[in-house]
Structure 1
Amino acid sequence: MRTTIGVEEEFVLLDPETLVPVERAREAQDALRRTGDGFGRVMAEFFPSQLEFASPVCETAGQALASITGFREELSAWAAENGLIACGVGLPYRVAQEAEVTDEPRYREIASHFGLIVRDHQLNGLHVHVGVADRDAAVAASNALRPWLPVLLALSANSPYWNGVDTGFDSWRAIHSRRWTTHGIPPRFLDAADYDRRTVALRGVGGTSDAGTLNWVVRPSERYPTVEVRVFDAQLDPETSVALASIVRGLVLASAGRATGTQAAEIEPELLDSALWHAARNGLAADLLDPRDGSLADARAVVRALLDAAAGGLAEHGDTAAVSAVVDRILREGNGATRQRAAMTEGGMRGLTAAISADAVSTY
């Protein structure tokens, strides 16, 4: 049985010489709103250097790819005309320490709870929505996705630098995210009623003011009939974003018994949390937690298990070949973090600038 996907991509505007964020996202948003309406929605983000694009509800991966590619074309053109670059990276290479959050009531309210953490929260992600029957189905999908989230992070890790320094992590964004009140992989819930009871109890605790401040990397959407996966760093190219979305859809279908695939074991929460940190550090360069039995295994073998788990849903939507091609490239050439480091090694700052620009054409 087929279902829908939606893709949300966050971008940051940078000075091409210094790679420091530039607070002109509102201008870009205003200029691109008319164009964006044809492809999806353009929205403000937490900092004035950031903006988010949300695709429409898509029946096919091809529709999602056309949507985000069209927006990237327009955004990259606007940035070039204004002496900037627009980037799909988990974190900017450098940050402006004096940056203030976007002047909107919600962002000011969130910022009021997080003190010095706010200044560093210049994170950019890829969020994937998969259509589900109801909230109970969304919770069931969240439960089933939990063991696969570390390998999904490893594939998508694209934030090795912070303040001009190589952090030694493939996803420093994932490490930043751990400082929120809720973070990482959520607990297992019995059903939607259990989820609602436990998340309502969190409100007012720490910085959790509402459902939107639950910073778990998968959660039922409060606005749409979807399960939302938020584990991914923003991506360098649109093909990878859509391939990751397609994999998530395949896993969700398998979790609902609507497609067959490799089954994950029940993994203890402390092991899953450690595995997410492990994936943020190593990416695909070493081993990863194998969801089939909770052991550490070669990263390539775990990626293949991931594709096996999603295989039925990928085949149902005609996505197998496209996803396999993208994953094969990632295994051959590296995730975004590897590609950023290679660009820096080969071409210095100019090489990195060229590699991270959110061009519509694949950077593979």
Structure 2
Amino acid sequence: MTTTFGIEEEFVVLDPATLATADLGDVAVRELAAGEEGTVTPEFFASQIEYASPVLGTLDDAAEALGRFRRRLGDWAADHGVLAVGSGTPFRIGAHAEVHAADRYARIAADIGALAPDHQINGLHVHVGIADRDTGVHASNALRAWLPVLLALSSNSPYWHGRDTAFASWRAVHSRRWTTYGIPPVFADAADYDRGIAALTGLGATSDAGTLNWNVRLSQRHPTVEVRVCDAQLDPGSAVALAAIVRALVVAGPVVAEPAPGYGDAALWHAARHGLSADLADPGTATIAPARHAVRSLHAAIAPALRAAGDLRRVERFLSDALRAGTGATRQWRAGRHGPPALGALYRESLTRDALAPTPH
């Protein structure tokens, strides 16, 4: 039986000359939502939009859905003289950036106070279908150790206010300031999970289950476990491959030794700082090892599930390319050395370019 999944991609609209945010998200939603398979909605800031795919069964389904929407988004951006970008953070913030007018976003902005102007972050969220909520909790427990590796592989937010942060994922740094963040606790079952949510509701900015900012959580709207650790991706191929990895982790349920208290949170910080360019926490050996070793452990854990789904070759190509050429952050750094015009060209070209698409025979 095929394990279904869904993908949510967040994009930011930028001015092509300054690479600063442009508050055209509502215009994009209004003009792109009609007739779209999946949903197109606003996000926290008026410069952001989110695309949520329909329920997917295969990577080909995912590539088709994401590719179709990204092409429409790219055409829309060209018509309006802007860039639509898949990056965990925008290069610059516009002078008059506004939180979206929706009541929910206004309430969240009030709850987080002076953090609100910095909450300009874009993620790739992967939903994986589960039989029941107990199964989802068990998947969350199994995923915990692999979240730093997923963050490193997806790292794609090196710039903030036009400056190099020296972090591969500056989005992850912003996320750390939320009331809840990072690796969720271990829960015994769904009832235990629900007790945890009830205890947190009302604390800080956790007004309901939808404001939990753990890197993994159970969806309140769908029968899925939702993995939220990944940065938004420059290109559709990377988004699809990461979704395949997440699905395989849920299906495989790899069990590894529980690290020392605090280890996982430190490993997330380390992954945000370095991406794949340095050592990484390796769940397979419970050591700090070269990034390629951690990726090799991930491959070993999920290869049977990937092979059964027909996803192995595409994911192996993604992992090989990431280790050889770097993540989205590396690509942004490489382009950024030649100035904002080169970075803008990277954003424009990557939006619809699926470098991992199978070669026609």
If the length of structure 2 is used for normalisation, what is the TM-score? 0.96
SS in 2 for 1:10: strand
CA contact (8 A) 1:147 1:264 kept: yes
Q: Deviations over 1:261-308 (max 9, x none)?
A: x64221234000000000000100111111123210110011111111
Does 1:301 find its partner at 2:311? Answer: no
Q: Deviations over 1:185-212 (max 9, x none)?
A: 1111111100100111111111100001
How far off its partner does 1:99 sit?
2.0
Q: Deviations over 1:303-330 (max 9, x none)?
A: 1111111112111110001111111111
Select the residue among 305, 314, 326 that pairs with 1:313.
305
Moved over 6 A (4+): none
Alignment partner, residue 158 of structure 2: 160
**CA distance in structure 1 between the aligned counterparts of 2:146 and 2:197, rounded to whole angstroms:** 23
**CA distance in structure 2 between the aligned counterparts of 1:280 and 1:97, rounded to whole angstroms:** 27
List aligned pairs for 1:79-228, cutoff 5 A.
79-96=77-94, 98-228=96-226
Provide the identity percentage.
55
State the AA in 1 paired with 2:276. L
How far off its partner does 1:34 sit?
1.6
Alignment partner, residue 359 of structure 2: none
Alignment partner, residue 258 of structure 1: none
**CA distance in structure 2 between the aligned counterparts of 1:151 and 1:292, rounded to whole angstroms:** 11
**Mean Cα displacement is larger for which, 91-100 or 195-204?**
91-100
State the AA in 1 paired with 2:121. L
SS in 1 for 2:262: helix
**CA distance in structure 2 between the aligned counterparts of 1:155 and 1:35, rounded to whole angstroms:** 33
**CA distance in structure 1 between the aligned counterparts of 2:134 and 2:260, rounded to whole angstroms:** 22
How far off its partner does 1:70 sit?
0.3
Q: Deviations over 1:177-232 (max 9, x none)?
A: 00000011111111110010011111111110000100001111111111100000
**CA distance in structure 2 between the aligned counterparts of 1:241 and 1:317, rounded to whole angstroms:** 17
**CA distance in structure 2 between the aligned counterparts of 1:150 and 1:43, rounded to whole angstroms:** 28
**CA distance in structure 2 between the aligned counterparts of 1:303 and 1:122, rounded to whole angstroms:** 29
State the AA in 1 paired with 2:12. V
SS in 1 for 2:16: coil
**CA distance in structure 2 between the aligned counterparts of 1:76 and 1:268, rounded to whole angstroms:** 45
CA contact (8 A) 1:248 1:310 kept: no
SS in 2 for 1:51: strand
Q: Deviations over 1:212-265 (max 9, x none)?
A: 10000111111111110000000000010010000111111111xxxxxx6422
Does 1:353 find its partner at 2:351? Answer: no
**CA distance in structure 2 between the aligned counterparts of 1:75 and 1:268, rounded to whole angstroms:** 44
CA contact (8 A) 1:263 1:309 kept: no
Select the residue among 275, 283, 286 that pairs with 1:283.
275
CA contact (8 A) 2:137 2:190 kept: yes
Distance 1:363 1:15, change over 3 A: farther
In the comparison of the two structures, how many residue pairs are matched? 355
Select the residue among 329, 332, 338 that pairs with 1:337.
329
Select the residue among 252, 259, 269 that pairs with 1:267.
259
CA RMSD of aligned residues (A): 1.2
**CA distance in structure 2 between the aligned counterparts of 1:274 and 1:168, rounded to whole angstroms:** 17
SS in 2 for 1:289: strand
SS in 1 for 2:34: helix
**CA distance in structure 2 between the aligned counterparts of 1:292 and 1:269, rounded to whole angstroms:** 17
State the AA in 2 paired with 1:101. V
**CA distance in structure 1 between the aligned counterparts of 2:177 and 2:95, rounded to whole angstroms:** 18
- Structure 2 residue runs of 5 or longer lacking an equivalent are 357-361
Does 1:17 find its partner at 2:17? Answer: yes
How far off its partner does 1:363 sit?
5.8
CA contact (8 A) 2:237 2:355 kept: no
State the AA in 1 paired with 2:197. T
Distance 1:269 1:9, change over 3 A: farther
**Mean Cα displacement is larger for which, 127-136 or 93-102?**
93-102
